[in-house]
Amino acid sequence: MVIVIVLLISGCVKEKDASRETKGESEQTSEQEKGTVATDTAQDEEEVDAEKATSELGDLEVKLSGEAIIEEDQIRIEGESNLLPGSSIYSGGVTDGGFASSTFIDTAEVQEDGSFSFEFSGISTSTTVKLNLYTNNQTEEHYGENLEKVTGPQVYVTDTHGEFEVKAEFYIDVDQSMPYTIPIEIPQWQEKPDDYGEPEVWMEAEVDSDHEYLYFHGETNLVEGTRVGGNLRKASGIIDAFSFGFTRINPDGTFELRVPYYKLQKGMYMPIRFEPKNNVWEDVLDTYGEHGEKLKGELVEKDGEDQYVELIVEIDAPDFDPPKDVGLTVEDEEVKIQMPDDLLFDFDESTLKADAKKTLDDVMKDLQKLDENTEIQINGHTDNVGDPDYNLNLSKERAEAVWAYLEKSGDVTGLDVQIEGFGDTKPIASNKEEDGQERNRRVEIVINPKIEPEIHEQRGPF
């Protein structure tokens, strides 16, 4: 009897184990099947996307996009499009100074899947890069001799009536830490103003800034391609040297204008002008007259026989008065007082020059205006010439020397102060040229420092 019971129990256990094994195998098979289905679904979706992209090749609503990979020694463009295979993309560039860049002159052929690519050497000057559809014998009939058959947000008028260009643009900032990637995106324009192109002109603009540029974001009823811009001016009306910029009106009447600056001062303003005498585009002159004689509205000014449009944009600056040769820049709530190293120190020294004390006395007057417990940083920086460790120590010693003088000579003890040396790790200009190295050798006093984002905002093109 005992033997029979043991056998029965043993048999039941074996049946349960077999059942568990069967269930486990079933669950494993089910998970494998699910994984296979998910993989097949993803592959199917990729194939559908690829088929859709291929079916759009040659569509007259042209699309140019992709990304630019910016490195110290090279720049790569990986492009996507719905252009006909065999189409040509022409590249070019214009530096911040307005000069054509030979680095970016090249042509790429669109591949069977609509892709294209470029590779260029590294650059030392910030540049706006433009990619244009270029008609050849194979594509001229399809897109039109003057691209007049093409539609979409990347079609722009040109200086010649009836001729168009298809383009994508992006801006390379050489002062930004490399490597980084810039998306090449298709613009999304808004509706044109109802009075677009009317002779009674209006214009409006808002301004913000970072530590290099003033950015003017504007709207107007001026026609596409109209050239606008000007020179930043001090409260006295005197032009602020090297602070100027020009741009053209977008297809929807908006414009983006970037103007470099070094020192913000109270009372500064930016006159944004449209002067027909300095415009040569046929559609612009036909609309407003060669001398602006057709222009009307409150913004219209006269200069002899010429009329022009001028919008005055006032610049909001901190209530500081930095001394000569000392920079003052603003980004959101963060203010930087930038002092070149040769203003404070002799070469390779961390002891303040006698003349430096007058500069720091003037800076201290601004610091004494700050509320108690205002956070500030005193940061030393160098170029990349020499041993990095030596430069790091030198930059720290110089920052400490500046704070030691300020603390001893004025009532700034209520501030929340941090002192740091960064050596050559935080340049504000390219170290490839002497001018950039000179800008990088500096001591900065940063008021209300903000946390640096991991990804820098790409602003532009302008």
pLDDT for residue 73 = 92
Q: Which helix (H) or strand (E) holds 258?
A: strand 254-260
**E strands, 315-459, in order:** 327-331, 334-340, 375-381, 416-421, 442-447
Q: Which of 184, 213, 230 is the last residue of a domain?
A: 184
Work out the mean pLDDT of the chain and round it to a whole number. Answer: 88
In-domain check, residue 190: no
In-domain check, residue 130: yes
Clarify whether residues 70 and 49 are in a common domain.
Answer: no
Q: What band does 98 get if pLDDT is binned at 50, 70 and 90? A: confident
Clarify whether residues 300 and 244 are in a common domain.
Answer: yes
Clarify whether residues 104 and 171 are in a common domain.
Answer: yes
Tell me the CATH number at 406: 3.30.1330.60
How far apart, in Å, are the Cα atoms of 107 and each of 71, 92, 110, 131, 220?
Answer: 21, 9, 10, 9, 35
Q: How many domains does the chain have?
A: 4
Q: What band does 460 get if pLDDT is binned at 50, 70 and 90? A: low
Clarify whether residues 385 and 418 are in a common domain.
Answer: yes
The tokens describing 410, both together, are: 């004025």
Give one word for 10, left, alpha or beta, with left for phi > 0 and alpha for psi -120 to 50.
alpha
Q: What band does 56 get if pLDDT is binned at 50, 70 and 90? A: confident
For residue 247, the SS3 value is strand
Q: Which has the closest alpha carbon to 342: 330, 331, 355, 323? A: 355
Pairwise CA distance, residues 231 & 461, whole Å: 19
How far apart, in Å, are the Cα atoms of 66 and each of 63, 208, 266, 274?
Answer: 10, 28, 42, 33
What is the average pLDDT across 231-256?
A: 96
In-domain check, residue 281: yes
Could you tell me which residue, 286 or 97, shows the higher pLDDT? 286
Clarify whether residues 304 and 364 are in a common domain.
Answer: no
Q: Strand pairing of 116-121 and 180-184?
A: unpaired
Q: Please say if the pLDDT value at position 165 is more than 80.
A: yes
Pairwise CA distance, residues 164 & 144, whole Å: 10
Q: Which of 284, 314, 344 is the last residue of a domain?
A: 314
User: Which positions ≥6 away from 34 have C-beta within 8 Å?
Assistant: none
Q: What band does 408 get if pLDDT is binned at 50, 70 and 90? A: very high
Share of the chain above pLDDT 70, in %: 86
In-domain check, residue 4: yes
User: Which positions ≥6 away from 244 have C-beta within 8 Å?
Assistant: 229, 230, 231, 232, 259
Clarify whether residues 228 and 253 are in a common domain.
Answer: yes
Clarify whether residues 76 and 169 are in a common domain.
Answer: yes
pLDDT for residue 452 = 62
pLDDT for residue 13 = 41
* Cβ(7)–Cβ(13) below 8 Å: no
Share of the chain above pLDDT 90, in %: 76
Clarify whether residues 49 and 88 are in a common domain.
Answer: no
* Cβ(308)–Cβ(300) below 8 Å: yes
In-domain check, residue 411: yes
Q: Please say if the pLDDT value at position 16 is more than 50.
A: no
In-domain check, residue 462: no
In-domain check, residue 320: no
* Cβ(323)–Cβ(287) below 8 Å: no
Instruction: Enter the DSSP assignment of 453.
Output: P
Pairwise CA distance, residues 388 & 378, whole Å: 20
What is the average pLDDT across 144-169?
A: 96
Interhelix angle 388-409/356-367, rounded to 10 degrees, is 70
Q: Which helix (H) or strand (E) holds 88?
A: strand 88-95
Clarify whether residues 361 and 432 are in a common domain.
Answer: yes
Q: What band does 277 get if pLDDT is binned at 50, 70 and 90? A: very high
* Cβ(380)–Cβ(397) below 8 Å: yes
Clarify whether residues 297 and 336 are in a common domain.
Answer: no
Clarify whether residues 228 and 258 are in a common domain.
Answer: yes
Q: What band does 44 get if pLDDT is binned at 50, 70 and 90? A: low
Q: Please say if the pLDDT value at position 345 is more than 70.
A: yes
What is the average pLDDT across 61-65?
A: 97
Q: Which domain holds residue 4?
A: 1-55
Q: Which helix (H) or strand (E) holds 218?
A: strand 213-220
Our measurement of the distance from residue 136's CA atom to the centroid of its chain's CA atoms, rounded to an integer in Å, reads 32
Tell me the CATH number at 114: 2.60.40
In-domain check, residue 460: no
Clarify whether residues 234 and 293 are in a common domain.
Answer: yes
Q: Please say if the pLDDT value at position 459 is more than 80.
A: no
Task: Give the pTM.
Answer: 0.83
Instruction: Enter the DSSP assignment of 100.
Output: B
* Cβ(276)–Cβ(306) below 8 Å: yes
Q: Which of 251, 279, 314 is the last residue of a domain?
A: 314
**Among 32-41, 138-147, 199-208, which stretch is predicted with the lowest mean pLDDT?**
32-41
Whether the bond between 461 and the residue before it is cis, its omega within 30 degrees of 0, is yes
Q: What band does 454 get if pLDDT is binned at 50, 70 and 90? A: very low
SS3 content of the chain, % helix, strand, coil (to 5): 25, 35, 40
